[in-house]
Amino acid sequence: MSRTILFALALAVLTTPPAFSAETAAPANSAPNSPGTATRTAPTVKTNPFFAPSTLPFGLPPFDLIGNDDYGPAYQEGMRIRLQEMQAIGDNPAAPSFQNTVEAMERSGRLLARVSSVFGNLTGANTNPAMEALDLLLAPQLAAHSDAVMLDANLFQRVQSVYDRRNDSALDAESVRLVERYRTDFVRAGATLSDGDKAKLKIMNAEIASLSATFSQNVLKEINASAVVVDNRAELDGLSPAEITAASDAATARGLPGKFVIALINTTDQPPEAVLTNRALRQRLHDVSVARGIHGGAFDNRGVIQKLVTLRAQRAALLGYPSHAAYMLEDQTARTTDVVNKLLADLAEPAVANARREAAAMQAVVDAEKGGFTVAAHDWAYYTEKVRKQRYDFDGGQLKPYLEFDSVLKNGVFFAAGKLYGLQFTERRDLPVYHPDVRVFDVSDADGKPLALFLLDPYARSNKRGGAWMNAYVSQSTLLDNRPVVANHLNIPKPVAGAPTLLSFDEVTTMFHEFGHALHGMFSNVTYPRFSGTNVPRDFVEYPSQVNEMWLVWPEVLSNYARHHQTGAPMPQALLDKVLATRTFNQGFATTHYLAAAVLDQRWHQIGANSVQADVAGFEAKVLKEAGLDFAPVPPRYRSAYFSHVFSSGYSAGYYSYIWSEVLDADTVEWFKKNGGLSRKNGDWFRQEVLSRGGSVDAIGAFTRFRGQAPEIAPLLARRGLTAPAAK
């Protein structure tokens, strides 16, 4: 998860394409003028690398030529040119037509699109202080630029004219859908408001954009500032020698030789909690994690949340909606808050019931060990592994020697894509990248023809936001003759020099998931950039990526990549059987953990324009209690103050989309199993009906054509172990 549209810009050409699903100084391994390395003179038309299309394969950005001082001038010139183009469209004396209005708008803004794709992506993946300052400066300017286009009366009248005659023309289905989408975009952006209300909307949009950028930067700075310093090596018992060395190196890099630093990730739960034997350190780590953004100081996000939620609600009211959630959901496949609320409520009771059973099993272990305490949130991951080992004679650490990064990538992720779709991958070492860790692959189709470039940025950095996501540097479009350049970003801890990168099972799952998003972008086969790749409803965008997760345990795939990194021996069948047997293990926790965050997102964004929530922590507690999700050992996956998905990314009122998409995903997995699994026939059908269509067709219609029927929820309930009777 999922860098997405940052500034509520309605047209795809104005923004970085959506990114998917989940942060100040430049670190020592980043040049201060990153991604370029040289100090640059003031850019001119001749020297600014954004001013002309890239000549590199597939239009890959020339990262080695781009410096901090290129972004601002390119943005200013890009906005100027695009407004000039839009004015020419609006003032065109010829009668409005598809070609001189809608298609012309699709062709506009190429310079702005080039700089936006790079800057928007790198502020998440490889930021520095200069970029952060520019991000804050640009946020309201880009919001104003979007308003200048979307609130232009002449443009809207021309779009409306083409819309009114769309069925009387010789337009193909994708072009008709584009006209309808443009008209919807304009209306939802406020094109039908009075001049006075448009003025109010512009002020709101600028402030919302600024607040979102501030929230994002606070989260990244807080996560770096909150790293836990440990004085005594003995306290790190449970970590591997390589992890302890990495913690020592991290401390030295911070000017703390002889100490150890445990860096945080953006979720509430922190991975070391699963292995640290020192309960006090586990609690300390957890307490620091959940306190982010709410303890006062420079990075406190409570005031940002309050202003942002209020402004979003007021903007929704101005546009005629009862809440921001109602506004957002109208344009998704779920459509209404009632539908989403019911889905989350229906899952909450069985999820918490399962979580309570899981907690009871852990408590039995604590009591047998005479621990003398009640299982708390910071104990969950640690005692989950104990129960897993007790019940299945298995713990997650046994897998790591068989899950070496390159083998998972090439013999797992790429291998499955080859079997399903005939894809071939060749690593390129001759193309510029923005960081030495980034890898580039040529992707060829089954017939050998070039299809895409794939960039992979695997390791965590202090100047990289948390989570994992996909985005595009170039989006496919036959209108513009663009072929895709897509990227996956992960946050795997980088091992010490010379050591292999050994993954957890969750990290392998994430690799397959994010590559599912990449396939969605690479297989795009649409005419218009507005519909390219992952430009689909937010609650549909996770569906293809979740489907791709099924292949990580498919026997033919797993046996190909799960080999011991030293001996090459395959993962023993007995260990594999245990992996498969534990697929529903701890799903009460996983589902409750997720649902709590999804419910918080909905409640924050279902607030009316006149409601003010002054107490963030109090609001959270009230919401979780009312939803039946106030089970202390299982806190939300994200607390509000570091919930970047919904306060600084594109998932506001949309975090439910993971479980919504999983209904489609689980049903699709059953289809693959019944139809022969990993085969070119199945892969080509999925590619044809879903992955290649982008937003050019109705999302649920695409699913139904692929599946042959409407989605069913039963496979999801079985997958998550939610079919057992609730505990009494």
What does the pLDDT read at residue 3? 33
Spatial strand order in the sheet of 424-428 = 424-428, 439-444, 450-459, 485-492, 469-474
Q: What pLDDT score was predicted for residue 718?
A: 84
* 323: confidence class by pLDDT, cuts 50, 70, 90: very high
Residue 723: pLDDT band by 50, 70, 90 thresholds?
low
Q: Is the pLDDT of residue 490 over 80?
A: yes
Q: pLDDT by residue (tens digit) across 584-598? A: 899 999 999 999 999
Q: Are 179 and 289 in contact (CB under 8 A)?
A: no
Q: How many domains does the chain have?
A: 1
Tens digits of residue pLDDT in 675-708: 999 999 999 999 999 999 999 999 999 999 999 9
User: Any catalytic annotation for residue 514?
Assistant: yes
Per-residue pLDDT, 649: 83
| φ, ψ at 96 (rounded to 5°) | -60, 135
- Mean per-residue pLDDT, 529-545: 96
Q: What is the phi/psi pair of residue 632, to 5°?
A: -55, -40
Say if 55 falls within a structural domain. yes
pLDDT of residue 46: 53
**Has residue 567 been placed in a domain?**
no
149 vs 82: CA distance, rounded Å = 9
Q: Is the pLDDT of residue 14 over 50?
A: no
Cα 427 from chain centroid? 25
**Contact (Cβ atoms closer than 8 angstroms) between residue 556 and residue 411:** no
Per-residue pLDDT, 612: 75
Token duo for residue 395 = 């713990």
Instruction: Extract the tokens encoding 126.
Output: 């490889």
* 413 located within any domain: no
Choice among 103-112, 268-277, 452-461, 578-587 with the minimum mean pLDDT: 578-587
pLDDT of residue 6 exceeding 60, the answer is no
| Cα atoms in the 13 Å half-sphere on the side-chain side of 95 | 3
Distance CA 87, CA 92 (A): 8
Which has more confidence, 220 or 10? Answer: 220
26 backbone φψ class: left, alpha, beta (φ>0; ψ -120 to 50): beta
pLDDT at residue 722, rounded to an integer: 79
Q: How far apart are CA 149 and CA 79, in angstroms?
A: 10
| Per-residue pLDDT tens digits for 126-166 | 999 999 999 999 999 999 999 999 999 999 999 999 999 99
- Whether 146 and 109 have beta carbons less than 8 Å apart is answered as no
Give bridge partners of residue 239 from the DSSP assignment.
237
Domain harbouring 128, CATH code: 1.10.1370.40
Tell me if 713 is assigned to some domain: no
If you average pLDDT over residues 608-615, what whole number do you get? 84
Average pLDDT over residues 425-450: 98
Determine the Cα–Cα distance for residues 33 and 41; give it in Å rounded to an integer: 12
Assign 714 a pLDDT band (cuts: 50, 70, 90). Answer: confident
User: Do 657 and 539 form a contact (C-beta atoms < 8 A)?
Assistant: yes
Cα 628 to Cα 249: distance, rounded to the nearest angstrom: 43
What is the rounded CA–CA span in Å between residue 164 and residue 180? Answer: 10
Q: Which SS3 state, helix, strand or coil, does residue 412 take?
A: helix
Average pLDDT over the chain reads 91
Percent of the chain with pLDDT strictly greater than 70:
93
CB atoms within 10 A of CB 237: 13
- Note down the domain range covering 214: 12-218
Residue 568 CA to chain centroid, in angstroms? 34
Task: Give the pLDDT confidence of 174-208 residue by residue, as tens digits.
Answer: 999 999 999 999 999 999 999 999 999 999 999 99
From the candidates 77, 103, 106, 514, which is the catalytic residue? Answer: 514
pLDDT (0 to 100) of residue 720: 84
Least confident range of 116-130, 206-220, 417-431, 609-623: 609-623
**Residues 6 or more apart in contact with residue 228 via CB below 8 angstroms:** 261, 262, 264, 281, 284, 285, 288
How far is it, in rounded angstroms, from Cα 255 to Cα 311?
Answer: 42
Is residue 190 in some structural domain?
A: yes
- Give bridge partners of residue 502 from the DSSP assignment: 404
Statement: residue 727 has pLDDT above 90: no
Distance CA 225, CA 640 (A): 18
**Average pLDDT of 32-52?**
58
Q: Give the mean model confidence (pLDDT) for residues 643-666.
A: 93
Of 135, 128, 84, 136, nearest in space to 110 by CA: 84
- Name the one residue in this structure whose structure tokens are 């020419």: 88
Question: What pLDDT was estimated at residue 578?
Answer: 85
Residue 228 lies in a domain: no
pLDDT tops 80 at residue 636? yes
Q: What pLDDT does 128 receive?
A: 96
Pick the closest to residue 664 from 601, 714, 598, 599 (CA basis): 714
Round to whole Å and give the CA distance between 257 and 605: 46
Does 207 fall in a domain?
yes
When computed from its CA atoms, the radius of gyration of the chain, rounded to whole angstroms, is 25
Is the peptide bond prior to 35 cis by the omega test (within 30 degrees of 0)?
Answer: yes
**In this structure, what are the phi and psi dihedrals at residue 622, rounded to the nearest 5 degrees?**
-65, -45
pLDDT of 503 higher than 70 = yes
106, part of any domain: yes
